[in-house]
A and B are shown apart, each in its own frame.
Chain A
Amino acid sequence: MFALKQKPRVEDKVEGVVKTASNTNINAEGSPFIGRADAPLTLYYWFDFQCSFCKQFDEEVLPVLVDKYIDPGKLKVIFMNYQFLGPDSQRAGIVGQAVWEASPENYPKWHQAVFQKQDNSNSGWGNEADIMELVRSIREINLGNVLQLTLKNETAYREKINRDKDEGVRFNIKTTPSVLIGGQVIRGAQPIAVYTEVIDSLL
């Protein structure tokens, strides 16, 4: 579990096209993120809510990155959707965008809660009612707002999810989890040392 000491502010939402260290343009408009908006280094993280390796990345790698780089303001992690494992992934991705819009400071908590509920792909947990029940279980998030935003913006959120995936495909990303940092794509759930060595070399 990772907990943010420094929560993202609503006005810090990522807007427009962001340039990476290698001057590559990435469209991350409206993407959830953790860390300071003006952090010197950005890590783009493509994930699927039903991918077990993404769960592993969330539980083992992200907390280390939060402690070592995000809390000290050195790194920002942008969550990019790559919801390709079926309808349960898509649904969670859509609601995730609504959660980010309704309560950005609680997005990380919700994001991790979804991974904790993960089961076999497109079976068991993961329908509309399950996802909303999960939103309701996090008291700091207003369920009414999330429901309203989901109904109102479903098409826009779906387009956003597809756009995120297209951005990934542009960088030849075909598996999850994958990250882009300093113009380098690192595919799969790598050992934590790989990420820290690369980040240290870029800071």
Chain B
Amino acid sequence: MRYLLLSVIFSIAFLVLSIWLPNLSFIKNTVFSTSLSPDRKMDILTASLWAIKTNFTPLSRTLAITTAILFGINFSLLVYYLKLKLEGAKAISSGLGGMFFAILGSGCASCGSVILTSLLGVSATVSLVYTLPLRGNEFGIASLVILGLSTFLLAQKINQPIACAPKVVQQPKS
């Protein structure tokens, strides 16, 4: 139950981050503004969450929501896994890879990806994104695949028994 709640919290947090990502400075200025009343701040922040409707295409919206759900599950599984103190560099690294792609893809909503333009510049991003058949949503799909794989690997690791496997000692033939 605790991990289910953790999944929900991290899914919502990731989705909110995806929506706010292009406007982090605006959100920060709103939160810390001394001229805005708390009510006004709350109105702006809640209204901006509806950008999931206005600033996303149906495909990018579906990808963002699905990625957020998978991200939440993946993250809580990772926490559970680390708590069991199991070693699993492979599962952890694929989980982090999925999270990286999820964040990279989440900026591909309005015209021009936020993260990609920061990495490649506006012109290079436009050239890259417009050669892709899904106009940059490929990053979102890649994140879904990697997060799905990571969740599967983590679930497998968690299902393995914690006890050490006994070593099989081969008796020398006499």
Any chain B CB within 8 A of the CB of A54?
Answer: yes
Are the CB atoms of A187 and B22 closer together than 8 Å? yes
Any chain A CB within 8 A of the CB of B110?
Answer: yes
Are the CB atoms of B51 and A191 closer together than 8 Å? yes
Nearest-Cβ distance from residue A184 to partner chain B, whole angstroms: 6
| Band of interface residues on B | 20 to 34
CB-CB contacts below 8 Å: B92-125 with A? 109-114, 117-118, 122-123, 125
Are the CB atoms of B23 and A188 closer together than 8 Å? yes
Interchain CA distance A61-B62 in the complex, whole Å: 24
| Band of interface residues on A | 20 to 34
Chain A 168-203 interface 0/1 with B at a Cβ cutoff of 8 Å (1 = within): 010010111100000011111111011001100100
Q: A84-B123, A174-B122, A175-B117 are in contact. Are A187 and B110 (CB under 8 A)?
A: yes
Are the CB atoms of B111 and A85 closer together than 8 Å? yes
Interchain CA distance A183-B88 in the complex, whole Å: 48
Are the CB atoms of B47 and A194 closer together than 8 Å? yes
- Which B residue sits closest to A48, measured CB to CB? B111
Interchain CA distance A189-B51 in the complex, whole Å: 7
Contacts of B35 in A (CB 8 A): 201
Are the CB atoms of B22 and A175 closer together than 8 Å? yes
Contacts of B48 in A (CB 8 A): 190-191, 194
Interchain CA distance A52-B56 in the complex, whole Å: 11
The chain B residues found within 8 Å of chain A, CB to CB, are 22-23, 25-26, 29, 35-36, 40, 43-44, 47-48, 50-51, 53-55, 57, 109-114, 117-118, 122-123, 125-126, 130
List the 7 closest pairs (A to B, CB-CB), nearest first: A193-B47, A175-B112, A188-B110, A51-B111, A174-B117, A191-B50, A188-B55
